[in-house]
Structure formats: C-alpha cells, structure tokens
Structure 1
C-alpha cells in the first residue's frame, strides 16, 4: 500500500490538476511531499519500534496513512491535498521499517530468507503495477472521481490491516526503557530533508543545474553534527538513533551501498518507459501500465524463489540477478529504435528478464545486509537501509528524467532517442551495483575478514550495544 502510493499517483496527476485547478508547483508537492515525509520518517520510526513497541508503531502508522488517504480523496483545494500527502508520507514511513524489523526478529535462517523473499516480492509487484492500477482506477472513476478513487481505495485496506495486525502481530513484553535520542532524530531528519529537497524541488524536465544543490553542503555539515552528537550520546551509555557500529559490519555496508545504487538505477525505468509509451507512442495510461506487467510478474516469482535460495547461494544470487537486470535493460535499449507496432508487447521479453533479475536482487540483498545486525537494532538498521534506497531512488529519478527531457527537447520530440540516452545512465548505475556485488562475493569467498557466507545467524561483532557508538 505504501509503495503503490509512490507510483499510482503519477497516473492520476493530470486529473488532480484539472479537478482542483492545481498549478505545477502544487502538483510537484503532491509527489514530493509524500516522498520527503516518507524518507525523513524511516529511521526515527524504526528506532521507535526498537525502543518501544513495533506492533503499536505499525498500527499507528497504518491508522495515520489511512486517515490521510481519505483526506486526500476528499480534498477540496490544492493546498489540502498537498498537506494530506505529507501526513500520508509520515504514516508510510512509520509502517515500512517495522516490516523488516518484524522479519528480523521473528525468523531465523532459511525461514528468514523466505520471509524476506515475500517482502521483496511485494516491493517488486507494488512498484511495477502502480501505473496499471492507477490507470484502471482513473478509468473506472472517470475524470472527476477517478483520482479520488486512487486515494479512497486505501481506506478499506487500512481497516483490514489494523484488524489483522491486532490479531497476528506479536506484542513484545516491555524491556528496560530506552532513550529515543530526540536530538539525534532532529539532526538526522534535517540532514535527510536537506539531501532530498534539491531532488524533489525541481520541476519535471527542468535542467539539473536549476536545482538548489547548495543545500547538499548544508546537509554535509548537519550530518557531521549528527555524527558528533551520536558519538557523545553513546559515550554516556544512552541508546542512539543510528548504531554507529553498523559501519563495522561489512555485510551491512556492502548491502546498503549496493541497494542504494541499484534503486538509483532501476526505479526510473518505470517512469521513462511510461513517458515513452504515453507521450511518444500515444498509449493510454492503462496500456502503458499493462506493458510493465512482465517486469512485475518476473520480479514477484523470482523474489519468492530467491527467498528460498539465498541461504544456499548468498551474494552469488544477487550478482546473477544484477547480470539479468543489465541484460534486460540492454535488450530494451537495443529494441526501442527498431520496433514498430505493438511495441509494448515486443518489449515484454526484455522486461521479463529484467524483472526476474530484480526479484533476485532486492529481497536477497536485504537478507544479506541485515543478517549480522543485532536483532535489537533491526528496526533502525532496516530504516537506515531503506532511507538510503529511497534517497538513491529519488536522486536517480531526478537525474534520469532530466536527461530524458533534455533529449526530447534537443531532438524535437524523439522519445526513442530520449529513452535510449536515459537507459544508458540507468544501466551504468546497475553495473556499478554489480561491481559492488562482485567485490562482496570475492570478499566472502576468500574470507578476507573471516566473515562466513550467509548462514542466517549474526556475526559476533554485530552484537555491540549502545556503548559501541
């Protein structure tokens, strides 16, 4: 539900613009407000789940997300929907880190890999079917009500989720009360906000040079202040927002680096394919969404199977997946200039290959990255991992879209050339992720740091408490 709302809304934007008389700036914030709030909330919410009750934080997040979705659907002005989207983002950011935290806490060994496999399957499917579902809902509801239906559909889902959470999610007995590190939360949130603002502030298709990149310098200063604070706070035997000792867990460092680069690359694929099909070839939103179904199906099946195989093959599984993604993207790049008629159908085999590869990357990488992280830090560790991926995704989409529209303008509307140029950047980012995966695979195989290949248990050095900060 939270991931769908990233991509599903894109299809409804023209209807929202018309229905509310919204300008470009407001429309930008309908998308950006959600992404900003989501990204800023991930790590603090993960830490809150670790320190208090993961079940309660999950349920609170679902309630907030559901109410905000209903508010979006009922919006009577552009300001109303922009503010409701920010609240919706906060709710989504509360939910997501609890998911990986629960899996980390409740499962071990092969069962953990299978659970993360299902988690990865939901990520792949949600990301890919968003445009299809959005197009279908807009078509069913019509121009006036269709965009509201995109938000209202979350209401019954949210109610069912709360009931299931109350029934199924375990209530962990309260341990010693832990510090929530409020200063760390504020500093980290401000730093993430400063990183994301230049990415989401620019108008779609505007040159990258017009974005306020100077904010990244301010973000670096705030991150430095955050690091200094965390060291000082940890030295006082207090629990910190981010476990700084995670930097010593090599599997986590490789996992978060690979995941960030991969999300920076593959996330933009759906947007540029949709733009190519809709703007370049005149496809409807529903047709463009349906074209991406092979990727969704491949990703779902591969993620489920990979979850069962990650214990046996470890990082090698991710490397093979990245090779398949590169092969699929190269296939799309080679096919686009020569295809005529039924382009969406003819792209299906290449998108299927890329989808199969993606399913072998996302969930196994999460499993391997968190495998040696102390279970008591699972929420914060998973939140940091997903924050990095979300940031990578936002930066990647901004860069690739800028390239896409630059090429459209330079070639006077040649969308084939535009998607080809954009794909080169996407492929490049995935190739770098592949190189990171190969280095990690070699490190594990040679045992250079005496870390075992994935066995489903934590490494002793990952058990440090708050004093490790």
Structure 2
C-alpha cells in the first residue's frame, strides 16, 4: 500500500519547537489580559466609585461598555486578520490594548474611564480572534489538541479568578495607585508580549481575501447599541419616551441587518455573519445556551461583588476571596472534564455542568438566606465550588458541541458568532441583572426602613426628642446609604442624622446600617433566582443538543498526521499563506 509522504518543510514536528510553546504562552497571555479586564472591574468598582464618583449606572457601563464593544467588533476583528495578516493584526490589537489599559489607569472621571473601556474592548476584538487562528496555523496537528486544550482551564481561571487578583491589587495600593493598578498591570505584560511576538510570531492569512462588510458592521453596532443603552440607562433616566423609542427601534435595525446579510450572501460576497447558520438547529440552540449562561454568570458575579463590598463593607481583597471558590471550581472542572469526561461522555458533560451550576446557585441562595447580614466568605465555599465546577464542565465542551455540525465554509463565521454571543450575554447580564438589582435596592431599602422605624421611634420617644424630623432623616439616610448616585456625602441626609447627636441618633445610625445590609441581601437573593432561572432555561435547552462522542475525540496522533498529509495534498492548489516573520 502506497504511503502519502509530506515534504520536509510541511511535515509538522511531533513535539513542536520550544518557540511554539513560548508563542502559546504569549497568545494565552493576551487572552488572559482580555478576560482579566472583563472580570476584574467587578471588585474595583467601589474603589473607582469612591475616587471618581459616578452612579451605579456608570459602574454598569464600565463593565458593559467593554463587553459590548468586544462583542460587536469581534467578527470584524477576525476578518481583519484574514485580510491584513494575523501577525500584523494581532500585534496592532495588542499594542492598542496595552495603550488603552494605560488610558484607563489615567482616567480622571467616570466618563473618561467608560470611554477608555470601550476603546479597550474594541482593541481586544482585534487582538483575540487571531489567537485561535495562529494556534491552528503554527502548531502541528499532533500537538494542536494539547495547545487548544491548555486554553480551557487557563481562560476559565482568568475569567473567574480575575476578581481575586483585582481585589489584592486594590487592597495593596501599590505605589499609591489603588484601583488603577488593575489596568497598569497590563502595560508591562503587554509590552513584553509584544516584544516576544514581534520576534517569533509568523505571518499567515486566509487564502481567499474576504471583503470587509462595513455596512453590516455599522448595522449590527447600531442595533445592539439601541438595545443595550436603554437597558443600562433607562432606570436612571426614568424611562422617558426617547429611551423606549431606542429600545423599540433596535428591532427593525437588527432585522435590517439580517436582511442585508442574506442579500450579501446571495450575491456571493462575504457577509459579516453567514445567515445560513440560522438554519442549523444545533447552532441556534447552542447560541441561546451561550447567551443564557454568560448572561446569568456575568450579571450575577457583578451583583455579588457589589453586595459584599458596598452592602456588607468587605474590602476589595476580601470580596475577591469570596469569589475564589468559583475560580478554583472552574479550573478543576475544566481540567477534569477536558481530560477525562468529555472524551468519554461527550455532550452529556455540558448538561451535567448546567445541572451542577443550577444546584450551586440554589445553594448560594440558601447560604444568603441563612447567613443574612452576617455573611462570611467561607460560608460560600461549598456553593461556590459547585458553581465553578459546573461552569468548568460547561466551558470545556461548549464550543465543540455547538460547532460540531457546522460546515468548513461556515466554521469561521460560526466561531466568531459564538464568541460574540459570549460577550453579548455578559453585556446583557450586566445591563439587565444590574438594572433589576439597583431597582430592587430602592424598594427593599424602604421596606427595611419601615421595619426599623418602631425601634428608632421608641428610643427617640424615651429620650424626649422630636420624633417626626428624626424619622424623616432616618428614612432619607437609608435611601442615601443604598443610593444609586455617589452614596453618602459630608452634607447629605446621613450627615444631618448624625449631627442630631445623642442616643437616638446613634441608634438610628446603627439601624440605617442594618436596613441597608438587609436591602442588599434581599436584593441579591432575588437576583440569585433570576440567575438560576436563566441557568434552568439553558439546562432545558441542552436536551436539544447532540450528546454522542465524536470520532475525532479518539483519534491517535498517527491518524491525525495521516489526515494532515491527505489534507495538505488536497489543498496543494490553494494553500494557506504563511510567511516567516520579518
């Protein structure tokens, strides 16, 4: 039987050269910075608020603005790599991301920080799509699975472990930088990564140079902005008519985007999104699961960070450690499922992960219910570990299960769409769950104040103090304590209450703190139900996905190499363009 022989220059090395693994470290480091900056903002929010001022809505935009820019421009970023070369595009995105990180650290007010965060997200959208393409191009088939496999636990740990590192940096206040250090960290890391990549990263691009769908990008950006802006800003603005008009207007704009993409595809031009993908039931169901999963997790982890810091008064480091069990669980769940479970049980692992996440979410609610205002971080360890493990089980098989039935022609568009839905889910989670949380705070604060009024009244009556003005100041102080603007100020309602002096003012002050903590705890418990509901929807939808183990999960290295040889022979007339780096 004749054997297929590859030319020496084309045959992949079995072990991969040392520069390959150094390059992998650089590429995953770039992804790490992106995921870190997507999650680290949670624990830095109270410190940012204390330094720069700004409302809860501004804090939401610091998280949502980054994710929205990333989601909208992600597919376009992948196209830029195909057109201009992945090396050149990756280096440009990395340089811009590093510069925007420095700009975030230099912000003097919340508006400047939000603008810098949006630009940072746009830079990440140029940088991140090149990572998987470069790994596929540089690593030999026999080691490519190991390279892709290393990214799962690494990325999961970065996404959820970011708050721990961020909390430590804020608390340590290195060189007096405070919260700014979470962004300054990217500067030396980005410079080092750029220097290494400039030296060892080879150039590659698509054999067919695709068109840039500028009109589609503008329509998608406009439609998503019309959808997300009202969700974040509407409550603070009082839901005026123009906000509602934006929300309604997002529907025809997104419909126009879909129509334009279909028209572009029929004319055999390159659309931003291959609309034929929407006929793939597995992909559509998978995108819904992705949206619900990331919406639930991103929104809930932000709310939990606000609860323990602003509500319960945890330091940034203590708040980061509160979320540490999630990070440990993600690392453990990703590694276990990737190495042992997914190869043997396939898509069932995704269902198991969502079920574990649902049980963990219920456990978190029960912990909040039992602990009340006296919550300690260690009490969240069991439910946090279970939630994190479930997340790890979901993250590892999610991509392969959803993209398994997609054709080669549609793979690039489907992958970009899936990653965009990751970010869009996070954006909507921060916007929707964050908005509901802030609205609940005001309602719960009034109820908690009503519960405390009899105790404050009794002390004021016993001391012979005028009751009604004291109660007025007390109620106003409770609302100020959970306020959606900058919180208590030196000349605000709480300062006026404290200025009354005496035992009644002291008791009222303690009751204010108790009422505020109760409002935060009750609101967070309600958001836990919302998050659990989204996970339940994802779990029910997972039953529509295929669960069989795919044959390629069991292929040996020799079989992969043989397939590689045949594939290169078939593609000889149209090879992928690859050049040595300059």
| TM-score between both structures, scaled by the size of structure 2 | 0.69
**CA contact 1:105–1:375 (8 Å) conserved in 2:** no
Matched, 1:362 2:395: yes
- Residues 329 and 350, structure 1, Cα contact 8 Å, conserved in 2: yes
Task: Tell me whether 1:283 sits opposite 2:314 in the alignment.
Answer: yes
Pairing partner for 2:121 from 89, 97, 103: 89
Instruction: State the SS of the aligned residue for 1:242.
Output: coil
Aligned to 2:44: 12
> 1:219/1:403 Cα in 2 relative to 1: closer, same or farther (>3 Å)?
closer
Match of 2:508 in 1: none
Kindly state the Cα deviation for residue 114 of structure 1 after the two structures are TM-superposed: 5.3
Deviations 1:384-420 (A, max 9, x none): 1122222222223333233333443324232332222
Decide whether aligned partners of structure 1 residues 250 and 105 sit closer, same or farther in structure 2, where only a CA change above 3 A counts.
Answer: farther
Give the whole-Å Cα distance in 2 for the aligned partners of 1:87 and 1:29. 13
Q: Classify 1:211/1:374 alpha carbon distance in 2 versus 1 (closer, same or farther; 3 Å).
A: farther
Q: CA deviation at 1:97?
A: 2.7
User: Could you list the runs of 5+ residues in structure 1 that have no partner in the other structure?
Assistant: 446-451, 458-469
Q: Cα offset for 1:211?
A: 9.5
**What pairs with 1:130-169 in structure 2 (closer than 5 Å)?**
130-141=162-173, 145-166=177-198, 169=201
Per the alignment, residue 422 of structure 1 pairs with: 527
User: 1:250, 1:112 → 2: CA distance?
Assistant: 28
| Partner deviation per Cα, 1:190-241 (whole Å, 9 max, x = no partner) | 222222222333568x888999343233222122222222222222221221
Is 1:257 matched up with 2:362? no
2:537 is aligned to 432
Q: Note if 1:40 corresponds to 2:72.
A: yes
Q: Is the 8 A contact 1:11 1:134 kept in 2?
A: yes
With 215-224 and 110-119 compared, the bigger mean Cα shift is at: 110-119
Question: What corresponds to 2:250 in structure 1?
Answer: 219
Deviation at 1:279, TM superposition (A): 3.4
User: Cα distance 1:363–1:328, how it changes in 2: closer, same or farther (>3 A)?
Assistant: same
Q: Which residue pairs with 1:389 in the alignment?
A: 422
What is the match of residue 316 of structure 1? 348
- Determine if the alignment matches structure 1 residue 405 to structure 2 residue 438: yes
Give the distance between the partners of 1:109 and 1:252, measured in 2 at CA.
26
Secondary structure, in 3 states, of the residue corresponding to 1:172?
strand
For residues 279 and 23 of structure 1, the distance between their equivalents in structure 2, rounded to whole angstroms, comes to 13
8 Å CA contact 1:113–1:367 kept in 2: the answer is no
TM-score by length of 1: 0.85
Q: In the TM superposition, what whole-angstrom CA distance separates every residue of 1:130-170 from its partner, at most 9, and x where no partner exists?
A: 22222211222269521221211101111222234345544
User: In 1, Cα distance between the equivalents of 2:534 and 2:119?
Assistant: 32
**CA drift at 1:118:** 3.4
SS at match of 1:337: helix
Q: Which residue of 2 aligns with 1:295?
A: 326
Question: Which residue number in structure 2 is paired with residue 380 of structure 1?
Answer: 413
Say which is worse superposed, 57-66 or 376-385, in terms of deviation: 376-385
Change (3 A) 1:55 1:454: farther
Stretch moving more, 65-74 or 9-18: 9-18
Asked if 1 retains the 8 angstrom alpha-carbon contact of 2:322 and 2:377, the reply is yes
Residue of structure 2 equivalent to 1:198: 230
Distance in 2 (alpha carbons) for counterparts of 1:240 and 1:217: 25
Out of 34-43 and 290-299, give the one that drifted further: 34-43
Question: What is the Cα-based RMSD across aligned positions, in Å?
Answer: 3.1
The offset of 1:20, in angstroms, is 4.5
Q: Which is further off, 225-234 or 255-264?
A: 225-234
SS at structure 2 position matched to 1:347: helix
378 and 165 in structure 1: CA distance in 2 versus 1, 3 angstrom threshold: farther
Unaligned runs of 5+ in 2: 1-32, 449-515, 556-582
2:277 alignment partner in structure 1? 246
| Structure number with higher relative contact order (C-alpha < 8 Å, ≥ 6 residues apart) | 1
Aligned to 1:239, the other structure's residue is in SS state coil
User: Structure 2 CA distance, aligned partners of 1:87 and 1:436?
Assistant: 35
Contact 2:64 2:431 in 1 (8 A): no
Counterparts in 2 of 1:373 and 1:106: CA distance versus 1, 3 Å: farther
The CA deviation at 1:306 is 2.1
Q: For 1:354-386, what per-residue CA distance to the aligned partner results, in whole angstroms no more than 9, with x for missing partners?
A: 111100102310122223434565443222112
Decide whether aligned partners of structure 1 residues 392 and 80 sit closer, same or farther in structure 2, where only a CA change above 3 A counts: closer
Q: What do residues 103-147 of structure 1 show as CA deviations (whole Å, max 9, x unaligned)? A: 566789997665554333234322322222222112222695212
Q: Secondary structure at the match of 1:70?
A: helix
Deviates more, 1:353-362 or 1:48-57: 48-57
Does the aligned pair in 1 maintain the 2:170–2:182 contact within 8 Å? Answer: yes
Q: Which moved more, 1:373-382 or 1:119-128?
A: 373-382
Greater Cα shift, 41-50 or 321-330: 41-50
Q: Distance in 2 between the 1:106 and 1:133 partners?
A: 31
Deviations 1:39-97 (A, max 9, x none): 22112112323444233322211111101111222334555433322221111122233
Task: Check conservation: 1:50, 1:380, Cα contact below 8 A.
Answer: no
Q: Do 2:353 and 2:392's aligned partners in 1 also have CA atoms closer than 8 Å?
A: yes
Verify the 8 A CA contact 2:232 2:435 in the aligned structure 1: no
With 272-281 and 224-233 compared, the bigger mean Cα shift is at 272-281
1:235 counterpart = 2:266: yes
